[in-house]
Amino acid sequence: MKNLSLSLLIIGLTFVSCKKEEAQKPEENTSKEEITAEAKPDSATVAKAWTDYATPSKGHEMLAKDTGTWDAELTFWSPDNPQEMKSTATVTYKMIMGGRYQEGTYSGDMFGMPFEGRGMVAYDNATEEFVSTWIDNMGTGMMVTKGKYDEATKTSTFYGEMVDPVTKKAKKIKEVITYIDDNNQKMEMFDVSEDGKEFKSMQVVSKRKM
């Protein structure tokens, strides 16, 4: 009988102990939340982060080098048509919003029709990458790409997506800009299939007007 009473007492104490541990858990969670709150940066740190984010950097200096007017020769290829198509355009680059963004305005003739396009390039100080958007009068969508510059090869490589108006689905694209020198550039665009194969669909060779 004593053994039975002792067993019941042990079971009872264990049950009470478990209840106490469960009751303490919210306090432990609260303590973790308080620690997380204490780890938040102070106002000076936040202010410096935003100041650094808003201040033009070396990436913006690189974009500013393109400022001016360029002559561009465009070449297009299609998987269904082995014959290349050519066109010409005039490009004007300028920095806007205090040197934070590069705006490129394109005008010319494409496939027998007047062509105009506009590109915007940002250098994001936080992510340390270039972000590019493109619109033109040959469509109603917007192309968005992101990429980085490689000093060793003097190239910027961008990756992104654009909508294929035939399939009405997004397709992957790759864009490579080669900086031949301060007055000559080459841009190559590739369609990237689902299996990773690349097809060169466009090339733009630009020369600065003197």
- Predicted confidence (pLDDT) per residue in 8-39, tens digit: 444 444 444 444 444 445 455 555 555 555 67
Residues 71 and 9 in one domain: no
110/104 Cα distance (integer angstroms): 17
Supply the CATH number for residue 110's domain: 2.40.128.20
Q: Residue 116: give the domain boundaries.
A: 58-208
Residues 119 and 26 in one domain: no
Residues 91 and 19 in one domain: no
Residues 62 and 149 in one domain: yes
Residues 88 and 12 in one domain: no
96 token code pair? 């806007």
CA atoms within 13 A on the CB side of 25: 6
Residues 74 and 166 in one domain: yes
Residues 70 and 130 in one domain: yes
What domain count does the chain have?
A: 2
Quick one: pLDDT at residue 10?
41
On whether residue 50 sits in a domain, the answer given is no
Q: Is-above-0.85 flag for pTM?
A: no
Give per-residue pLDDT as tens, 98-143: 999 999 999 999 888 999 999 999 999 999 999 999 999 999 999 9
On whether residue 10 sits in a domain, the answer given is yes
Q: What percent of the chain has pLDDT over 90?
A: 76
With cut-offs at 50, 70 and 90, classify the pLDDT of residue 80.
Answer: confident
On whether residue 190 sits in a domain, the answer given is yes
Check pLDDT > 60 for residue 49.
Answer: yes
On whether residue 52 sits in a domain, the answer given is no
Residue range 138-150: average pLDDT? 97
Quick one: pLDDT at residue 67?
99
Residues 119 and 173 in one domain: yes
